Structure 1
Amino acid sequence: MSYLIAVLSDRIQAELAYTTLEAQGFTSQQVTILGQGYRSADEFGLIDPQQVGRQRAIFMAYWLVPFGFVAGYGFNQITGLHTLDWAGDPGNHILGGLLGAIGGAMGSYFVGGGVGLSFGGGGDAQAYRNYLKMGKYLVVVTGGAALRARATDLLRPLQPEKLQGYTAPDGDYA
């Protein structure tokens, strides 16, 4: 889905932009205002990179943790490491498996999306969410390239803080 997003500093500017577009024949299905008193980013469907990272990490953990356990158990059994002498062979193999499972959990966290979860990311969607948190308003125009170009020409004289196209990524990580 492709959008044109205008970032406006206050509610009055957002309503002016909306009525300007509406006067030129844009429908309520094509134009949306996001911000306090209007739709939220979640209601509109702007992705939350932290939620996506969390879903990826959980998805990866379903197979990496058991694989890590089996790999750690097997490695300990093959090498014959005795980390804890009092635990004997079965206890040391199980300890190797647990350490392998911890390694699998770490892999799912870092590779599966935990880096984005820890350090932010998410590109434009996160930037738009930050604008909303700062109390700004977004006017979003949904449609084809010609419609977005026409909307750009109408919104540019209103001097939005930012006027940019956005394409929502497809894909579900659940």
Structure 2
Amino acid sequence: MNYLIAVLKDRIEAEEAYSSLEREGLPMDKVSILGKGYKSADEFGLIDPNLEAKKQMRGLAFWTIPFGFIAGFAFNLQTGLEIVEWAGSLGNHIIGGIFGAIAGAMGSFFVGGGVGLSAGSGDALPYRNRLNEGKYLIVVRGSETLTKQATRILRQFEPENIQGYVEPRSL
């Protein structure tokens, strides 16, 4: 499946572009307008970078927190550090493990969350930002021929940005 996304500055321009696509005979079930009064980014299915970051954070925490506990426990076992006097030997090893688990949680938060925000959204974040600025998106999905025809039509409106995408084939 091919996608074409054009960013237009206001509602009037988006409606004119939509009407022009309709006049040229494009199947209108393949054309969507995103913006105020039309579909939202969530309704269309643009990835929310915050949700992606949380998902990546949870996935990383699944491994880093237990590994951090084991590493902290083992480090305290090897070094014999006395963190608190009254806890005894086993208690200090467990406290070392807890500190290691905390370090693992911090790693998953900063690395998993940061990477999820910066890389997990792909181009969805800039499009969401443009929608938040009050701009409109025209999205055409279909065959390569359809998106090329739509590109030719939409270029007449001098969109702020026009970008084509090809959905990767799933195995």
Q: TM-score, normalised by structure 2?
A: 0.89
Mapped to 2, the partners of 1:61 and 1:93 lie a distance apart of 21
Contact 2:52 2:120 in 1 (8 A): no
Give the CA RMSD over aligned residues. Answer: 2.2
CA offset at residue 64 of structure 1? 1.6
- Shifted more, 134-143 versus 84-93: the winner is 84-93
1:47 alignment counterpart: 47
* 1:137 equivalent in structure 2: 136
* Partner amino acid, structure 2, of 1:82: E
8 A contact 2:52–2:121 mirrored in 1: no
Q: Tell me which residue corresponds to 2:58.
A: 58
Greater than 6 Å deviation, 4+ residue runs: none
> Structure 1 residue 165: deviation in Å?
1.5
**How far is 1:169 from its partner?**
7.3
CA distance in 2, matches of 1:158, 1:166: 20
Aligned to 1:154: 153
Select between 30-39 and 43-52 the one with higher mean Cα deviation: 43-52
Residue in structure 2 matched with residue 165 of structure 1 by the alignment: 164
AA of the residue aligned to 2:112: G
**Shift in Å, 1:120:** 8.1
Query: How far 1:157 sits from its partner (Å)?
Result: 0.9
Identity of counterpart residues, as a percentage? 57
**1:127-165 deviations in whole A, cap 9, x for unaligned?**
100110001110001012221111110111111111112
- Secondary structure, counterpart of 2:6 in structure 1: strand
Q: Which stretch shows the higher mean deviation, 158-167 or 145-154?
A: 158-167
1:114 deviation in Å?
2.9
Shift of 1:167: 4.7
In structure 2, give the amino acid aligned to 1:131. Answer: R
Deviation, structure 1 residue 75: 1.9
Distance 1:149 1:122, change over 3 A: same
User: Do the aligned residues in 2 keep the contact of 1:124 with 1:166 (CA within 8 Å)?
Assistant: no
Describe the SS at the equivalent of 1:111: helix
State how many pairs are aligned.
Answer: 170
The TM-score normalised by the length of structure 1 is 0.87
Q: List runs of 5+ in structure 2 lacking aligned partners.
A: none
- Show the counterpart of 1:32: 32
One-letter amino acid matched to 1:76: N
Structure 1: runs of 5 or more not aligned? none
TM-superposed deviation, 1:121: 7.2
Does 1:100 pair with 2:85?
A: no
How far off is 1:13 after superposition? 0.9
Aligned position for 1:23: 23
Alpha-carbon separation, structure 1, partners of 2:15 and 2:28: 13
Q: Report the alpha carbon displacement of residue 168 of structure 1 after superposing the two structures with TM.
A: 5.8
Q: Deviations over 1:78-116 (max 9, x none)?
A: 221112223221221111011110111122123323344
